């Protein structure tokens, strides 16, 4: 979506300026020499690889971390924040990469916690709070009940609550750390609309994203970070996407969608008549050895629900799933794992990782049995294994024994991938494999997937990124409203063909080759 960029009037001082900021966690130097200037009425993009230090920088801005060196100025005056409350009081609102809601409180209370509207005797005015919450959601076009508890919201909805909360703060500076990673196209558009309205009223915006198209659509200026340092700051028109990528990665990028022609082998996965009440119906498909099949569709089409039923995380209500001709028991992921199926889930924090355990443990969790000798975990084998896979994925970390929770968002995602790739699966199911992963690693993940396919692994991929789907898949299965509505084979798989099927403008789109 395009946003006209009216050049902001020249200002004497940036609203906020960080210079020479450094921050280390033990031996990990997250920030070495970072800097940033935000101007009123301007949207500023911050881009960089996973682990470049983006989230750390904004946590300093938000008062959550104290920098080891460097200074922060607001309106030309030095400031020091000792907690989130300070930064909030100074007018800085932050949407963090990982939404953190209060599960036991209602959605409305989550929006207004600490600043609930008060009535007589200082008591909380719940009716008013609900009214404001509803108004806010209406403005953002979000269909959420303010009175429901926040527990159990999908990541997208959690993210929307965080966005609504930050917007309602009417801050002078609005910081957004990958707010769009879990959102659908429509929601992103609404978010951008709301953010742009704020910007026109003079709010300074800081926007972090790995989707460079979004950066171009929303922002007027862009700062690139690499290894904890500022590489450059430019007006957005002055740099091409390729140039941005080169600065982020520090080298030229290999092909984004390496595709190898492989001769598909035997059928590995066969799904017949799979149904889950209210979620998906009568799904039939197969995946062969050496083949990459994408399950595509708009958000909410039932793709995640389908793969979860295939893997057995959720029981199916009808239908058969078989691996190499042997049927899998419904609702039994262990059986699926034993049969050689691996699933990399969509929501890494809740389903994929034990945040307090080390990277080592997490990366090898699924392999424990094979690595143990005489019932003991053999440290050496475990370590080698973890080092190999995290290395192949360019995961950036201090030591393998650090808790996974201390990794950057994208690097956590890589550990989840490593964990499942290490099982050496026959069928690899990946749900949004590159969400939150930087562009360099994205190409790497793609190369890895096609290598695996070339080695005879059957790959089933769910992705909301159309270029990824079209670039990687041998066949694209299109879902809409819980049903499989068509199949596109490689040459016929184009954006228009997909959109026609996914949005329901054409029913019989089967092009088999």
Ligand X SMILES: Nc1ncnc2c1ncn2[C@@H]1O[C@H](COP(=O)(O)OP(=O)(O)OP(=O)(O)O)[C@@H](O)[C@H]1O
Q: Which residues bind ligand X (CB under 6 A)?
A: 25, 28, 30, 48, 50-56, 97, 396-397, 406-411, 438
Phi-psi sector, 165: left (phi>0), alpha (psi -120 to 50), beta: alpha
- The listed partner (ligand X, Mg ion, other proteins, none) that binds 122, CB under 5 to 8 Å by sort, is other proteins
Residue 97 within binding range of Mg ion, rule CB under 5 A = yes
Task: Spell out the residues 6+ positions from residue 147 whose beta carbon is closer than 8 angstroms to its own.
Answer: 106, 107, 108, 130
Helices (H) and strands (E) in the chain, counts: 17, 20
Q: How far is the CB of 143 from other proteins (least distance, A)?
A: 5
Q: How far is the CB of 228 from ligand X (least distance, A)?
A: 7
For every residue of 194-236, which 3-state class applies, written as one string? Answer: HHHHHHHCCCEEEEECCCHHHHHHHCCEEEEEECCEEEEEEEH
CB-nearer residue toward ligand X: 133 or 224 = 224
- The listed partner (other proteins, ligand X, Mg ion, none) that binds 305, CB under 5 to 8 Å by sort, is other proteins
Instruction: List the one residue out of 299, 323, 302 whose CA is nearest residue 311.
Output: 323
Instruction: List the one residue out of 214, 219, 208, 254 whose CA is nearest residue 49.
Output: 208
Residue 356 within binding range of other proteins, rule CB under 8 A = no
Check: CB of residue 328 under 8 Å from CB of residue 274.
no
Q: Which residues pair with 487 in a beta bridge?
A: 477
- The listed partner (other proteins, Mg ion, ligand X, none) that binds 407, CB under 5 to 8 Å by sort, is ligand X
- The listed partner (other proteins, Mg ion, ligand X, none) that binds 411, CB under 5 to 8 Å by sort, is ligand X
Stretch that binds Mg ion, among 92-100, 213-221, 361-369, 466-474 (CB under 5 A): 92-100
Residue 160-189 contact track with other proteins, rule CB under 8 A, x = bound = ------------------------x-----
Angle between helices 185-200 and 126-140 (to 10 degrees): 110
Check: CB of residue 298 under 8 Å from CB of residue 503.
yes
Tell me whether strands 229-235 and 173-177 are parallel, antiparallel or unpaired: unpaired
Q: Point out the residue whose Cβ comes nearest to ligand X.
A: 410
Q: How far is the CB of 365 from Mg ion (least distance, A)?
A: 23
Among positions 121-150, residues that touch other proteins (CB under 8 A) are 122-124, 126-127, 130-131, 133-134, 137-138, 143-149
Q: Point out the residue whose Cβ comes nearest to Mg ion.
A: 55
Number of chain residues interacting with other proteins (CB under 8 A): 54
Residue 299 within binding range of other proteins, rule CB under 8 A = yes
Angle between helices 439-454 and 409-421 (to 10 degrees): 10
Among positions 43-62, residues that touch Mg ion (CB under 5 A) are 55
Q: Which helix (H) or strand (E) holds 341?
A: strand 341-344
Q: Which residues pair with 173 in a beta bridge?
A: 92, 204
Residue ranges in contact with other proteins by CB under 8 A: 62-64, 83-88, 94, 96, 100-106, 109, 113-116, 118, 122-124, 126-127, 130-131, 133-134, 137-138, 143-149, 151-154, 156-157, 184, 278-279, 299-300, 305
Residue ranges in contact with Mg ion by CB under 5 A: 55, 97, 408-409
């Amino acid at each position: 979506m395009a946003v006209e960029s009216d050049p902001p009037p020249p200002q004497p001082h940036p609203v906020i300026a960080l210079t020479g900021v450094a921050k280390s966690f033990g031996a990990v130097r997250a920030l070495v020499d970072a800097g940033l200037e935000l101007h009123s009425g301007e949207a500023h993009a911050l881009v960089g690889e996973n682990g470049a230090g983006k989230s750390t920088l904004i946590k300093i801005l938000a008062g959550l971390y104290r920098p080891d060196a460097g200074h922060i100025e607001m309106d030309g005056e030095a400031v020091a924040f000792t907690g989130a409350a300070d930064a909030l009081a100074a007018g800085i609102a932050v949407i963090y990469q990982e939404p953190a809601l209060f599960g036991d409180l209602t959605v409305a209370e989550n929006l207004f916690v600490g600043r609930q509207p008060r009535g007589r005797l200082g008591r909380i005015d719940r009716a008013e709070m609900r009214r404001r919450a509803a108004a806010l959601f209406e403005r953002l076009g979000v269909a959420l009940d303010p009175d429901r508890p926040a527990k159990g919201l999908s990541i997208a909805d959690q993210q929307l609550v965080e966005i609504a909360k930050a917007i309602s703060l009417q801050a002078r500076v609005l910081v957004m750390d990958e707010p769009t990673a879990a959102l659908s196209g429509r929601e992103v558009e609404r978010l951008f609309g709301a953010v742009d309205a704020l910007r026109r009223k003079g709010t300074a915006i800081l926007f972090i994203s790995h989707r460079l198209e979004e950066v171009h659509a929303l922002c007027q200026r862009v700062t690139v970070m690499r290894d904890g340092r500022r590489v450059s700051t430019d007006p957005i028109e002055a740099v091409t996407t390729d140039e941005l990528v080169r600065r982020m990665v520090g080298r030229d990028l290999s092909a984004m969608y390496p595709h190898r022609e492989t001769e598909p082998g035997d059928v590995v996965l066969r799904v017949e008549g799979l149904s889950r009440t209210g979620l998906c119906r009568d799904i039939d498909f197969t995946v062969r050895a050496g083949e990459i099949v994408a399950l595509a569709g708009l958000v909410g089409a039932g793709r995640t629900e389908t793969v979860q039923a295939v893997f057995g995380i959720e029981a199916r209500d009808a239908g058969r799933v078989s691996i190499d001709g042997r049927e899998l028991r419904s609702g039994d992921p262990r059986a699926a794992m034993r049969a050689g199926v691996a699933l990399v889930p969509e929501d890494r924090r809740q389903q994929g990782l034990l945040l307090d355990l080390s990277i080592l443990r997490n990366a090898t969790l699924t392999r424990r049995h094979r690595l143990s000798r005489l019932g003991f975990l053999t440290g050496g084998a475990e370590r080698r294994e973890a080092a190999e896979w995290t290395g192949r994925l360019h995961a950036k970390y201090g030591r393998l024994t650090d808790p996974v929770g201390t990794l950057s968002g994208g690097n956590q995602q890589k550990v989840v991938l490593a964990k499942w790739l290490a099982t050496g699966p026959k069928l690899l199911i990946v749900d949004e494999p590159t969400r939150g992963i930087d562009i360099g690693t994205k190409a790497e993940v793609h190369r890895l997937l096609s290598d695996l396919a070339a080695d005879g692994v059957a790959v089933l991929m769910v992705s909301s990124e159309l270029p990824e789907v079209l670039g990687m898949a041998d066949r694209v299965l299109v879902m809409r409203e819980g049903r499989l509505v068509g199949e596109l084979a490689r040459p016929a798989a184009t954006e228009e063909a997909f959109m026609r099927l996914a949005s329901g403008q054409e029913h019989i789109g089967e092009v088999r080759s």
